[in-house]
Chain A
Amino acid sequence: MEVIRSQKRTVSNDVVSTPTLPLYLTAPPMEVRLEEFELFAIDRLRVLKGVSDGLARGRNPNEMDDLVETLWKEHMRLSDVSEMINKDIISHFVLRLVYCRSDELKKWFLSMETALFRHRFRLKKIEEQRAIVGEFGLPYKAVIGAELESLKERLGLVARSLGQILSDVENIYYKVPFEEVPDLVAGRRVLLQKGYAFVAGSQLVSLVVTQFRSHLSKALILTNRKWTTTIREREKDRLTPIVEALSTSYLGPDYTQSNEYADISLKDIDQVSKSSFPLCMRHLFEKLREDHHLKHGGRMQLGLFLKGVGLKLDDALAFWREEFTKKVGSERFDKEYAYAIRHNYGKEGKRTDYTPYACSKIITSAPGAGDHHGCPYRHFSEDNLKAALSRMGLSSRGMEDVMDKVRNKHYQLACTLTFEAVYGTSCDTGINHPNQYFEESQKILKSKTPTAPV
């Protein structure tokens, strides 16, 4: 791609023949106007930010399909189809430059672009989908004849186990090494035999998305190398300032630095846990006080939350030590647990200052035997959740609203409703981070009683 200042742009012939869902395998030879460089990228960023919001709010796949369709129409649509494809491709490659520059940026971009691709793919018709599979050059053939016959019964079992009725449309299965479709394997959505997965036509999206992500991930590493070795210096008067400005604007606050609302001290912590903690953290806190112990997942989730809330490292060590020594003794605490706490604060190992978990991460975690982390709206049984909510002070009417959201798997909306019921106010932005819940709560409480600790 060549960035130029001229008014007209020469359209490459390649553009017209690519399908409507580009794979971004290579940067096509095009010329891009400088204004478009920035504007196209900003529009795409709006789409990606919308995708990020949708995922954070726990939207299910069908809702995400609709959301992506709306976002794309709103920000990326142009009257001329080939112009639209150009914008698509140009904006993607510009954002690659912007988001290749650190691990955190890469991770965000990779997730969002993959999600965007996934839902755009799902919106395509089956013939177009198959064509895209071909574009990737994947060598997988359909299973036919005697092999298909021998598998038919078990393939039927798989479909039934997913609640599907095996219709004739699903006569096409691709034999694929299981490594290529990790999400289908994880969900037991495919039959496995001797290292191969049998992927139905309707599951092609998994196959393709894995390829897409893997390719983009490698490409970002190469782009980063090119950026740091040549491009950044060469473009320091032209593109570099634009690129550097683009990345800071669109990621939400990550709560690694606590603000003035949120410095808490140990003596207030019990009170604050009852007044301002979201349910997930309150549960962990209560269990910690009760059992004088938490397993690893709980220590991470609560520990990082407390860091984001403003608990200093020394206070944190004192806090955990106070509880754990009641059960394991102070020597064991020093040996086995203190290191991990300092690690969370970036004082050990590779010195990463870890960010407190957002709701999306907590919701997708997998608490097992003896664990108390995760999202109560998702992981608790109805009875336990209702009991916990009533301890938070919800009325039975309020609880019904919340339970209704839970049954529809809108866990963050459930938490938002809880927030609104507890503090008697509305929360338009929705809760997508426990530390956000805490800060909003503190704002409200402090505005009511400005001097007393709440």
Chain B
Amino acid sequence: MTREETETSGEDMMIDDPKPKIENDFNVHYLRIYYGNLFPYTDIHKWLSYGHDGKHPGCDEYYFGRREFSFTLENDVYLRYKSFKNASLMEAAIKSNFPYKIDIGAVYSVDPDKRHAYAQSGTNLFTPVERELVFDIDITDYDDVRYCCSGADVCSKCWPLMTVAIKVIDTSLREDFGFKHILWVFSGRRGVHCWVCDAKARRLTNEQRSAVAEYFRVYKGNENNAKKVDLMGHSLHPFLARSYVDFLKSFFEGELQATQSIFSSKEKYEKILGMITDEDIQADLRGKWENSARSSLSEEATSLLRWEQLKKALQSKRNKALSLRTCVEEIVFTFTYPRIDLEVSKQMNHLLKAPFCVHPKTGRVCVPIDPNNCDEFDPLAVPTLSQLIEEINSGGLRMDVDDDDSDSSLLGKSIKFFRSSFLEPLLKSCKEEIESSYKTKIAKTKDSFSW
């Protein structure tokens, strides 16, 4: 069936050539096939139901229906406050709209569809009740410290910044905050999203979300200030110290030097010298480096050497000024520490793109990333829409992801990972919670009858 569709020029075809020309493009026709056959509706529904599947008396059968979705259609038409009573209605809506982007919002106090019926003067009865704790990390926020790309581009040299960010944030979410059900997703082009789905996380207020986001915030910069990380000369908070020792230091002194050579040119090293508050040290190092400009060392070796010289210079003057004591760490943090978009995390009603959407500019699927193996993740190897279509065409298979050998299909791997390492443990814990809160409720009502 799909073979025929791609071979004939239908009325709505965007491709001029009637032959199946596989391009790395995103187009409506491929999108239809994707949403017709590949998008994991059941898994998404199971996830967002959080165990309220109606099988237990303690289930809230209307829970899924109070979740807001939004669709961005072709021509940037934007449909908010969409909600669906169950998985089939959600699937039907997606298959009739073929949205370019699907966003997931909060679970509200009433059906988003019916919010106007509940609007009253003064008090607002339509309010968010639950929402995952989410984070958005975008590599464009690192433009001032990456020299290989800028703007929307990303490559194997700068992607490791995302990898380090995942490691730092994921560790902290688990160790410091005690969260367990965390989903990391590739945003499709140049960043990652994080969905923290524990019940405690979903019930956080805006103020509490803001507090978590601020806890993660270190970089406070824009072009108006030269020093964008200020650790104030005191020792590091254990969270920052752990991040530095376990992840940032080795990344800075290893991979980063190799890929970015942050000391190798005058323009580059001036930026770093600007972070040292002692003018004598600045002048001293500047003198050394200007003189060695024509050395025969490789860019990487030069960078490493200069880093050693810098550390030594700072070490010798450590006790002269408070601000020098954490200068080395400040430089490392400036180049490597995660930069999250605070606004995304702070409010419950903020919408975030759904996993398994396809990015319109790259055609890549927003697949989950395994935080325990994030070093292996390559954004340029993520399946694209056209690759998936070609796989269908060449295999002639119906992509039934419940097949045992679904592991071998491009998307099947991701879906399987989503299920086994995220969805299953999450649902298990949700069931336990529903059961136990049901038991407590029953016990309470029994008590109240005992007068």
Contacts and interface: CB of A to CB of B under 8 A. Distances in A.
A-B pairs, top 5 by smallest CB distance, nearest first, are A195-B178, A182-B211, A186-B214, A192-B176, A194-B178
Contacts of B141: 368-370
A182 B207 contact: yes
A185 interface: yes
A260 B208 CA distance: 43
Given A183-B211, A196-B178, A157 B143 contact: no
Interface residues of A, number: 42
B391 interface: no
B377 interface: no
Name the interface size band of chain B: 35 or more
Given A186-B210, A187-B214, A372-B224, 20 more contacts: A154-B238, A161-B237, A163-B234, A179-B200, A185-B212, A186-B215, A192-B176, A194-B178, A195-B200, A366-B220, A366-B342, A367-B222, A368-B342, A369-B221, A369-B222, A372-B222, A376-B224, A380-B224, A380-B225, A384-B224
Interface string A84-104: 000000000000000000110
Of B234, B237, B241, which is in contact with the most chain A CB atoms at under 10 Å from its CB?
B237
Nearest to B206: A182
B22 interface: no
Interface in A367-403: 367-372, 376, 379-381, 383-384
B234 A368 contact: no
B241 A369 contact: no
A286 B221 CA distance: 19
Contacts of B76: 335
B236 interface: yes
A383 B208 CA distance: 36
A162 B235 CA distance: 8
B271 to A, nearest CB: 14
A273 B398 CA distance: 64
15 contacts: A103-B122, A157-B236, A157-B241, A158-B238, A160-B234, A160-B235, A161-B235, A182-B207, A182-B208, A195-B200, A367-B220, A367-B222, A367-B224, A368-B219, A369-B339
Contacts of A225: 123
B219 A228 contact: no
A118 B210 CA distance: 20
A138 B141 CA distance: 42
B293 to A, nearest CB: 27
B211 A186 contact: yes
B204 interface: yes
Interface in A289-344: 296, 335
Interface in A186-216: 186-188, 191-196
Contact of B176 (A193, A221, A370): A193
A176 B232 CA distance: 27
Nearest to B215: A185
B343 A296 contact: yes
B308 interface: no
Given A187-B214, A380-B224, A192 B239 contact: yes
Interface string B144-173: 100000000000000000000000000000
Given A195-B177, A195-B178, A371 B235 contact: no
Contacts of B208: 179, 182
- Provide the main secondary structure of the chain B interface: loop
A186 B227 CA distance: 21
Contacts of B305: none
Interface string A205-247: 0000000000000000100110010000000000000000000
A357 interface: no
A58 B339 CA distance: 28
Nearest to B214: A186
Contacts of A228: 122
A217 to B, nearest CB: 10
B236 A161 contact: yes
Contacts of A221: 123
Interface in A156-174: 157-158, 160-163
A71 B29 CA distance: 70
B175 interface: yes
Interface string B395-408: 00000000000000
Interface string A120-162: 0000000000000000000000000000000000100110111
A335 to B, nearest CB: 5
Given A162-B234, A192-B239, A195-B200, A182 B222 contact: no
Interface of B: 76, 122-123, 141, 143-144, 175-179, 200, 204-205, 207-208, 210-212, 214-215, 217, 219-227, 232, 234-241, 339, 342-343
A72 interface: no
A187 B205 CA distance: 17
B224 A102 contact: no
A178 interface: yes
A383 B227 CA distance: 12
B225 A384 contact: yes
A193 B221 contact: no
A192 B208 CA distance: 14
B144 A369 contact: yes
A452 B307 CA distance: 60
A183 to B, nearest CB: 7
Contacts of A194: 175-178
A178 to B, nearest CB: 6
Nearest to A187: B214
Given A178-B177, A179-B204, A372-B224, A188 B237 contact: yes
B279 to A, nearest CB: 13
B303 to A, nearest CB: 23
Contacts of A367: 220, 222, 224
B397 to A, nearest CB: 39
Contacts of A183: 211
Nearest to A332: B76
Nearest to B211: A182
A163 B211 CA distance: 21
Given A369-B219, A370-B222, A182 B210 contact: yes
A355 B195 CA distance: 33
A188 B224 contact: no
A384 to B, nearest CB: 5
Nearest to B227: A381
A381 B226 contact: yes
A217 B225 CA distance: 38
A192 B270 CA distance: 37
A376 B223 CA distance: 12
A157 B235 contact: yes
Contacts of B205: 179
Contacts of A376: 224
A102 B123 CA distance: 8
A368 B221 contact: yes
A266 to B, nearest CB: 27
A163 B237 CA distance: 11
Of A154, A157, A196, A372, which is in contact with the most chain B CB atoms at under 10 Å from its CB?
A157
A258 to B, nearest CB: 27
Nearest to B126: A350
